[in-house]
């Protein structure tokens, strides 16, 4: 063996880098993905053969490319997978030669992943499906051709195509489950996510194992797909390859995730520009999501076809009617041209799946026919009264609606029938809180509405389950759910634009005037209840009266409440919490009372009486024990708090009215999530900022804060807090720590040094929202400061510091965090707010500092 001198290694390293740079420039100029992958593989082939020769490797060995490199698809930053095949176990000399070979490859800049095995060891290791798959794609680079041929023969002898199919299918199911989380939806993995390159490779691996070929054209020749479908799939395959290549070059590393950091740059490279209403990155991601949907469709269809090809099915079909039959758990059309001569059968298929829950999927023939059926859904199809009636039958069916709509969306039927829906398919929203595309979110909302009807899910939102059970004609809610975001991305008010689409649908599908009016109203007002509950003072009679005037009757109120809860719960798994649920329920009940009585009840007298009752029953505290404490509170205190809160405060403070040391007491929040914290102490400058800073350091999020200054100069604060970083937090273990540490934090009265604001999340950094700050006067004398901005650690603690600087008192805050978007409201007062110039300066500083 002839060792390579250092100058030779340096020369090889430089020339390899230059050759790779030339490939990159050629690719960036042309965008031809398959050419780049092939050229990069060929380039590495040349260097490996040259080094193999220069090192005079023994002729008994075989150097084999495996994995992606073996099939000639070498991405710019991917590992170079090699198998060095031996005819026998290596001696010390050979081991030394192999070590030098691998060392040289790394020295010149090749990141190799290598294995050194005999044929027997290869066959033994191929019990692992990943190893077996890699070996299937082996390609001889240099050395012993007979040994390589013997390996291939051994692989084929030990290959069971049916077992291989089953293993690869299970592998795909496990991978899909791993990558199904919301975070992978925002930043999908081009290789591993459902609908990614791995789904396509799974098909070609199984096809190779079955002896059917490795290209889409081969599968078409075998009758598993049409040639036009093969061309379509090849285009989508090329798009995913091109995106992955560009991603590797941008990241300068092996990076397969479409990270926020690169989405905008990728769009620029592909000449995708922003429109008036959508970012360039959103257009890019829609193109990706639409490709992902097509890949998933073909993955399902081709896996079914391959299953039929590999396995003998002895199941006897059972005819359901003259058009459909059941084959085991699969629904199958009896005539592969059914949808061509009887287009009405398209909707009948989905209806039958609803009526027969024992049917879990569609046969391969049916899937392919359904895919082709999209082209038959034209204006004549849409205008056909029978087709419209059948679609309404699907919406009215008592079971299986969610699966039906998702299948219709997956196979392009829903978008073909409702062109307005097709516009939102794959449309991503970079608004910091939606984690699903608009079509996925829409179907999630319908799914949530359906769950409200199911008893086994009643524990999730008990009130919704009760209301849904009493709600007549629930299909009006499903239609409202389908159309509530239908106009997203068009510009303007999507709720107003969506009303027109909803009314047109209702007219075409012969809904009654009452149902049409309710659906259209729900689409137009679907944001109103959430905004009012989370951003308005629900103790203010004017707020309840104003909201109630929008509500026609109790049916409208119930419908809006159900749609709102379903909508918020469908934006992201992280947006909904028990506190949001409580706010919405509070508004629901207050509005229902207002609609019933025609006025806002005298809450002041009512809450005092209720607090008296709780104090007597739960705490055994007589009325004469707390007049001194209650005398320190103004009416706003009693209006702002619920009876059980007032009773809890009174029980703790009745004998501590003039206590000198701070009182901090924590309990599990009555809303069912998080903690409720009471703070009572002599008022001090910056108290609210100090408390916010304490919770920020603990990684707790304040979802509501109420601050009241008593008649004798004390501050009483009530805080609802939840942990933001640990899903499995045991709140009971945290209570004593908060009581002790927050007490000391307040008592020390040291200058406030706020915790570091921390790093902005990548999503906020790359898709920032414009910070908006506004101040307006309310009907009861206070001012309302509203803030919309990207959330970040320590944000809340900075606001009271600025308010203190302008001598503005903070009375109450509602903190509404939607994913990474903060929409907070503060009720404030102070002479500064009566001075327009001072108010302008305050707003300017808030914008500058936040």
Tell which residue, 697, 725, 691, 662, has the closest CA to residue 794: 697
* pLDDT of 749 strictly over 80: no
* pLDDT of 770 strictly over 80: no
Alpha carbon distance 395, 481 (integer Å): 12
Tell which residue, 761, 684, 655, 666, has the closest CA to residue 720: 666
Would you say 293 and 197 are in contact if contact means Cβ atoms under 8 Å apart?
A: no
How confident is the model at residue 758, as a pLDDT?
A: 55
Alpha carbon distance 366, 376 (integer Å): 15
Alpha carbon distance 470, 220 (integer Å): 53
Residues 6+ apart with CB under 8 A from 17: 109
Mean pLDDT of 537-546: 87
pTM of the model: 0.83
Alpha carbon distance 434, 535 (integer Å): 19
99-104 long-range contacts (CB < 8 A, ≥24 apart) are 100/1, 100/3, 100/55, 101/51, 101/52, 101/55, 101/57, 104/4, 104/9, 104/51, 104/55
DSSP state letter for 624: G
How confident is the model at residue 610, as a pLDDT?
A: 93
638-695 pLDDT per residue, tens: 888 889 999 999 999 999 999 999 999 999 998 888 899 999 999 988 888 889 889 8
Mean pLDDT of 217-242: 94
How confident is the model at residue 850, as a pLDDT?
A: 74
441-476 pLDDT per residue, tens: 999 999 999 999 998 999 889 999 999 999 999 999
566-577 pLDDT per residue, tens: 999 998 777 788
* pLDDT of 430 strictly over 80: no
The alpha carbon dihedral of 222, 228, 232, 237 has a sign of positive
Phi-psi region at 185: left, alpha or beta (left = phi > 0; alpha = psi -120 to 50): alpha
Q: What percent of the chain has pLDDT over 70?
A: 95
What tokens were used for 628? 């001194």
Alpha carbon distance 353, 407 (integer Å): 10
**If you average pLDDT over every residue of the chain, what do you get?**
90
Alpha carbon distance 328, 363 (integer Å): 10
């Amino acid at each position: 063996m002839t060792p390579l001198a250092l100058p030779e290694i340096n020369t090889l390293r430089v020339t390899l880098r230059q050759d790779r740079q030339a490939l990159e420039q050629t690719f960036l100029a042309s965008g031809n993905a398959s050419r780049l992958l092939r050229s990069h593989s060929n380039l590495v082939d040349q260097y490996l053969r040259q080094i193999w020769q220069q090192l005079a490797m023994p002729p008994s060995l075989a150097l084999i490319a495996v994995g992606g490199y073996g099939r000639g698809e070498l991405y710019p930053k991917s590992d170079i997978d090699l198998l060095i095949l031996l005819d026998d176990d290596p001696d010390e000399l050979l081991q030394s030669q192999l070590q030098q070979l691998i060392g040289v490859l790394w020295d010149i800049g090749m990141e190799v992943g290598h294995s050194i095995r005999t044929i027997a060891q290869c066959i033994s290791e191929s019990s692992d499906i990943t190893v077996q798959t890699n070996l299937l794609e082996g390609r001889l680079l240099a050395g012993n051709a007979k040994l390589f041929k013997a390996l291939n023969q051994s692989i084929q002898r030990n290959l069971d195509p049916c077992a291989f199919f089953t293993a690869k299918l299970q592998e795909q199911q496990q991978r899909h489950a791993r990558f199904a989380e919301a975070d992978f939806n925002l930043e999908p993995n081009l290789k591993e996510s459902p609908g990614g390159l791995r789904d396509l490779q799974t098909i070609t691996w199984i096809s190779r194992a079955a002896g059917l070929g490795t290209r889409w054209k081969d599968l078409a020749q075998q009758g598993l797909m049409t040639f036009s479908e093969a061309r379509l799939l090849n285009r989508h395959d090329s798009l995913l390859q091109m995106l992955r290549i560009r991603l590797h070059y941008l990241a300068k590393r092996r990076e397969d995730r479409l990270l926020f950091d690169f989405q905008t740059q990728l769009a620029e490279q592909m000449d995708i520009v922003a429109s008036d209403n959508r970012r360039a990155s959103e257009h890019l991601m829609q193109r990706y999501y639409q490709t992902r949907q097509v890949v998933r469709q073909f993955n399902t269809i081709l896996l079914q076809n391959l299953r039929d090809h590999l396995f003998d099915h002895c199941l006897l079909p059972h005819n359901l009617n003259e058009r459909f039959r059941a084959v085991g758990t699969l629904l199958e059309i009896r005539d592969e041209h059914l949808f061509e001569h009887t287009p009405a059968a398209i909707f009948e298929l989905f209806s039958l799946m609803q009526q027969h829950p024992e049917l879990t999927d569609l046969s391969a023939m049916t899937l392919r026919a359904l895919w082709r059926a999209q082209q038959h859904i034209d204006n004549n199809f849409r205008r056909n009264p029978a087709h419209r009636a059948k679609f309404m039958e699907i919406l009215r069916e008592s079971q299986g609606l969610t699966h039906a709509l998702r299948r219709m969306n997956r196979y392009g039927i829903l978008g073909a029938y409702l062109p307005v829906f097709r516009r939102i398919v794959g449309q991503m929203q970079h608004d910091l809180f939606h984690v699903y595309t608009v079509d996925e979110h829409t179907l999630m909302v319908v799914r949530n509405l359906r769950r409200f009807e199911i008893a086994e899910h009643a524990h999730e939102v008990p009130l919704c389950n009760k209301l849904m059970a009493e709600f007549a004609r629930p299909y009006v809610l499903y239609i409202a759910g389908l159309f509530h975001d239908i106009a997203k991305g068009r510009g303007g008010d999507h709720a107003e634009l969506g009303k027109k689409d909803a009314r047109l649908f209702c007219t075409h599908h012969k809904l009654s005037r009452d149902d049409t009016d309710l659906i259209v109203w729900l689409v137009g007002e679907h944001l109103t209840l959430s905004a009012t509950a989370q951003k308005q003072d629900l103790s203010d009679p004017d707020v309840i009266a104003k909201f109630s005037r929008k509500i026609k009757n109790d049916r409208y109120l119930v419908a809006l409440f159900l749609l709102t809860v379903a909508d918020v719960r469908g934006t992201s798994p992280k947006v909904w919490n028990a506190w949001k649920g409580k706010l919405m329920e509070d508004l629901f009940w207050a509005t229902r009372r207002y609609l019933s009585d025609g006025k806002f009840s005298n809450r002041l007298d009512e809450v005092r009486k209720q607090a008296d009752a709780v104090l007597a029953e739960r705490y055994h505290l007589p009325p004469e024990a707390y007049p001194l404490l209650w005398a320190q509170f103004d009416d706003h205190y009693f209006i702002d708090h619920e009876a059980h809160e007032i009773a809890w405060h009174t029980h703790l403070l009745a004998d501590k009215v003039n206590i000198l040391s701070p009182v901090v007491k924590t309990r599990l929040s009555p809303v069912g999530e998080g903690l409720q914290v009471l703070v009572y102490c002599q008022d001090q400058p910056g108290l609210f900022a100090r408390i916010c800073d304490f919770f920020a350091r603990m990684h707790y999020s304040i979802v509501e804060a109420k601050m009241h200054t008593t008649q004798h100069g004390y501050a009483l604060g009530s805080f609802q807090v939840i942990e933001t970083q640990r899903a499995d937090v045991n709140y009971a273990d945290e209570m004593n720590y908060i009581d002790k540490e927050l007490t000391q934090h307040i008592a020390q009265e040291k200058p406030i040094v706020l915790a570091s604001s921390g790093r902005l999340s990548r999503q906020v950094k790359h898709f920032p929202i414009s910070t908006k700050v506004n101040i307006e006067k309310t009907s009861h004398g206070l001012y309302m400061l509203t803030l919309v901005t990207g959330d970040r650690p320590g944000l809340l603690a900075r606001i009271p510091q600025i308010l203190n600087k302008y001598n503005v008192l903070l009375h109450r805050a509602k903190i509404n965090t939607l994913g990474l978007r903060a929409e907070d409201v503060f009720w404030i007062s102070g002479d500064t707010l009566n001075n327009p110039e001072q108010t302008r300066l305050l707003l300017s500083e808030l914008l500058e500092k936040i």
